[in-house]
């Protein structure tokens, strides 16, 4: 994934792929429906490998916002969570949801992928796992919850980088949040879009326009989309949340800690010292009109 960036080591330049490779990657338009279909099956296929690769860094019952290691137990971007009804969007293996449950929150974790949720359910059955996090399979663009049913909502790289219509996710989260409720989400920092997905020196030279919103895609030999990651500039993200009636309270751009020597895909100490890798938006639904 583009950068993914987050967790996939795909090469972006189709010309650089071996001729025998059955899959192709590059940039082309991808509609909302085909994007979701492709990503559901991609995350299903990758669920176990993703956990094997990143589970140790994430910790089974921790709430880590990003590869820079910002941990909610110290950052407290969500504020008080005990006794609150909390929605986690794109929860994956639900590490964050279990941490929230351990703090006394009533949590629902939503994810598009049944197999990511199967990993979450398995981790939730460990004897030492904090109980109480409910899991629901759903598309974040159409949340199956009543209006104003959550006090807080959060997402650590869930859903938003992967949908063609993140404005729809913003509207849905705003709808299910009670007035005054906080919505905090982390995404790949938009600036990274301009740079190759490489943890080394090659990842320090911009090769694409930051302003080109054409998604990064992977497709099979028949041209069927198998994966998509969609870019939004910082301004796009702000416009999406403002249009949904949300207010921006803070934009956290975590710096790479000096004692953090690990890498995550294209996130590395080398790049982290120079370029932002993650943007964490802290927002809320206003309590009163407007
Ligand atoms: C990078 S993982 C984030 C999960 C977890 N926070 C982590 O760091 O492992 C992205 C998750 O978003 C989910 N996702 C992608 N598109 C989605 C959508 N439209 N609705 C809900 N979840 C989606 C994927 O299935 C995947 O579990």
- Confidence at residue 87, expressed as pLDDT on a 0 to 100 scale: 98
Tens of pLDDT, residues 185-215: 999 999 999 999 999 999 999 999 999 999 9
- Confidence at residue 290, expressed as pLDDT on a 0 to 100 scale: 52
Which residue's CA is minimally distant from atom 14 of ligand 1? 159
> Does the pLDDT of residue 272 top 60, yes or no?
yes
- Confidence at residue 288, expressed as pLDDT on a 0 to 100 scale: 76
Task: Tell me which H or E stretch contains 168.
Answer: helix 166-176
For the chain, the straight-line distance linking the first and the last C-alpha, in angstroms and rounded, comes to 38
Tens of pLDDT, residues 149-181: 999 999 999 999 999 999 999 999 999 999 999
Task: Kindly give the distance from the C-alpha atom of residue 45 to the centroid of ligand 1, in angstroms, as a whole number.
Answer: 13
Which residue's CA is minimally distant from atom 15 of ligand 1? 159
Residue 125 burial by Cβ neighbours in a 10 Å radius (0-12, 13-18, 19+):
exposed
- Give the mean model confidence (pLDDT) for residues 29-48: 97
> Does the pLDDT of residue 90 top 80, yes or no?
yes
163 touches ligand 1 (CB under 6 Å)? yes
Q: Rounded distance, CA 9 to CA 199, Å?
A: 11
> Does the pLDDT of residue 129 top 50, yes or no?
yes
Across the chain, what does the average pLDDT equal?
A: 92
- What sign results for the dihedral spanned by CA atoms 175, 177, 178, 183? negative
Which residue's CA is minimally distant from atom 17 of ligand 1? 159
> Does the pLDDT of residue 19 top 80, yes or no?
no
140 touches ligand 1 (CB under 6 Å)? yes
Q: Rounded distance, CA 46 to CA 67, Å?
A: 19
Q: Rounded distance, CA 107 to CA 104, Å?
A: 9
C-alpha torsion angle, residues 154, 167, 232, 255 (rounded to 10): -20
Q: Among all chains, which residue has been given the structure tokens 């992967």?
A: 162
Task: Tell me which H or E stretch contains 118.
Answer: helix 114-124
Which residue's CA is minimally distant from atom 16 of ligand 1? 159
Task: Kindly give the distance from the C-alpha atom of residue 12 to the centroid of ligand 1, in angstroms, as a whole number.
Answer: 21
Tens of pLDDT, residues 54-84: 999 999 999 999 999 999 999 999 999 999 9
Q: Among all chains, which residue has been given the structure tokens 């989400």?
A: 185
Ligand 1 pocket check: which of 137, 158, 170 to mutate, most ligand atoms within 8 Å of Cβ?
158
> Does the pLDDT of residue 22 top 80, yes or no?
no
pLDDT band at residue 5 under the 50/70/90 scheme: very low
Q: Rounded distance, CA 43 to CA 112, Å?
A: 8
> Does the pLDDT of residue 9 top 50, yes or no?
no
- What sign results for the dihedral spanned by CA atoms 222, 18, 10, 50? positive
Least confident of 11-25, 129-143, 245-259: 11-25
39 touches ligand 1 (CB under 6 Å)? yes
- Confidence at residue 132, expressed as pLDDT on a 0 to 100 scale: 84
């Amino acid at each position: 994934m583009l950068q993914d960036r987050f967790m996939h080591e795909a090469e972006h330049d189709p010309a650089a792929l071996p001729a025998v490779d059955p899959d192709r990657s590059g940039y082309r338009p991808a509609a909302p429906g085909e994007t979701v279909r492709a990503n559901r099956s991609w995350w299903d296929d990758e669920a176990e490998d993703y956990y094997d690769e990143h589970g140790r860094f994430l910790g089974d019952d921790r709430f880590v916002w990003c590869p820079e290691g910002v941990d909610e137990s110290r950052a407290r971007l969500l504020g008080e969570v005990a006794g609150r009804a909390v929605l986690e969007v794109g929860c994956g293996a639900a590490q964050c949801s279990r941490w929230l449950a351990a703090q006394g929150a009533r949590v629902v974790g939503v994810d598009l992928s049944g197999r990511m949720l199967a990993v979450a359910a398995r981790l939730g059955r460990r004897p030492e796992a904090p109980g109480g996090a409910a899991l629901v399979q759903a598309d974040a663009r159409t949340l199956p919850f009543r209006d104003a049913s959550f006090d807080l909502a959060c997402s650590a790289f869930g859903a938003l980088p992967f949908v063609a219509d993140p404005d729809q996710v913003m509207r849905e989260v705003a709808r299910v949040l009670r007035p005054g409720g906080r919505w905090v989400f982390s995404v790949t920092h938009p600036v990274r879009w301009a740079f190759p997905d490489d943890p080394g020196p090659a990842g320090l030279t911009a090769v694409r326009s930051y302003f080109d919103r054409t998604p990064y895609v992977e497709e099979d030999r028949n041209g069927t989309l198998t994966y998509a990651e969609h870019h939004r500039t910082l301004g796009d993200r702000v416009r999406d949340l403002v249009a949904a009636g949300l207010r921006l309270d803070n934009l956290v751009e975590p710096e790479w800690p000096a004692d953090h020597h690990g890498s995550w895909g294209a996130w590395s100490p080398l790049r982290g010292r120079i370029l932002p890798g993650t943007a964490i938006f802290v927002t809320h639904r206003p309590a009163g009109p407007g």
